[in-house]
Copies of this chain bind each other. A is one copy, B any other.
């Protein structure tokens, strides 16, 4: 029994889904062009785009600006409460990570950061902005604000790997307390541009604010993820075996 009372674009959504399954399209493969799809499914490009947007919202496909539509890879599992480096858990899941440092600089603590970190406004602070890839798809950009009082000279190190690991191994820093915030938002401005996605693309924001044993501010991490790129997975307590 088909749902013929559905709007066309929802029928198309389902037909496209079925078609993708039937064609066995897999991760990162390209769909036919919108014009071709609109002919094949006997409708207009506008309507096909509505259907494609649905599948995009569901995380089945994603768009690459003016290049086409592609099959979304499996979501990356991610536990923001653990201090595992990005590279490490990406590899653990059988993917291939890459990190680009877009800029790193020593700047002055702005008001908003002062309010959540406890640092005085104007205090020197490291600011690192990085883009992270999994299998050559850019999944997130990340701002790190690090207290240089605890790790002088950090900027001269390579920041293409785990900052957290560097803090631990080289500076013997270990966060004792953390505040984590997570919420969906729209990617815009610098974050959208850096990820090469359109303004307003759905994203997920993850913020981690870390303090040491004495309550001193260590680091702030603000991550902007593509909405379809990750699945947060947290385990609390021990599971008896």
Q: A179-B233, A239-B211 are in contact. Are A184 and B200 (CB under 8 A)?
A: no
Which one of B215, B227, B237 contacts A177 once the chains associate, using CB atoms below 8 Å?
Answer: B237
Q: Are A233 and B180 in contact (CB under 8 A)?
A: yes
Going nearest first, the 4 A-B pairs with the smallest beta carbon separation are A57-B186, A215-B240, A182-B232, A184-B227
Roughly how many angstroms separate A186 CA and B227 CA in the complex, as a whole number? Answer: 10
Contact B184 A184, beta carbon cutoff 8 Å: yes
What number of copies of this chain does the assembly contain?
2
Contacts of A234 in B (CB 8 A): 81, 179-182
175-214 of chain A: CB within 8 A of chain B: 175-186, 188, 199-202, 204, 211, 213-214
In the bound complex, what is the Cα–Cα distance between A106 and B237 (angstroms)?
29
Contact in complex: A183, B57 (CB < 8 Å): no
A22 at the interface (CB under 8 A from B): no
